[in-house]
Homo-oligomer: A and B are copies of this chain.
Amino acid sequence: MQAQDLSVGQVAKRCGVRVSALHFYESKGLIYSSRNSGNQRRYSADVLRRVAVIKAAQKMGISLAEIEQAFSALPKHRAPDKKDWQALSSGWHRQLSNRIDYLQRLRDLLTGCIGCGCLSMGKCPVYNPDDKLARQGPGPVILDNK
């Protein structure tokens, strides 16, 4: 058993997320904590990796629901090891590749298509870049200006 000695505030700071997000992740079953005598959350160090993985997955366009699903394959009562995390990431790798392929097709069709006469609902490849490969759509807009 690892020491359970990180407070929410410490975890939040080290992960770059708000305390409220940690509460939220916990409510979704993505992370766990124990409580001290005063009912405050205490985390073991492996929560840091969990949160890191959550954030990385989100950047890939993976939803919390999917992350939760993937996490359910992790060992429940020991800290996940290298192999556990890698199994997880290989599924996401495939998914991300599909999304990239999809976006590339979209991009390559774009310039020719929006301007030309073909952008009509029925037949244009930009309008219908067949989604068989990338069912999950464009994903969230992760890049954005600020």
Judge whether B111 and A93 touch: CB under 8 Å: yes
Overall SS of chain A's interface: helix
List 20 additional contacts besides A61-B140, A96-B106, A100-B107; criterion CB under 8 Å: A48-B121, A52-B127, A55-B127, A59-B106, A59-B129, A60-B103, A60-B110, A61-B103, A62-B141, A85-B115, A89-B111, A89-B113, A90-B111, A96-B107, A100-B103, A102-B143, A103-B103, A142-B146, A144-B146, A146-B146
Please tell me which stretch of A1-9, A22-30, A34-42, A131-139 contacts chain B, meaning at least 4 of its Cβ atoms lie within 8 angstroms of it.
A131-139
Q: Tell me if A58 counts as interface (CB < 8 A to partner B).
A: yes
**How many subunits of this chain does the assembly comprise?**
2
Interface size class of A (residues with CB under 8 A): 35 or more
Are A86 and B111 also in contact (CB < 8 A) when A52-B124, A144-B141 are? yes
Contact of A110 among B96, B104, B143 (CB under 8 A): B96
Find chain B residues with CB under 8 A from A86 CB. Answer: 111, 114-115
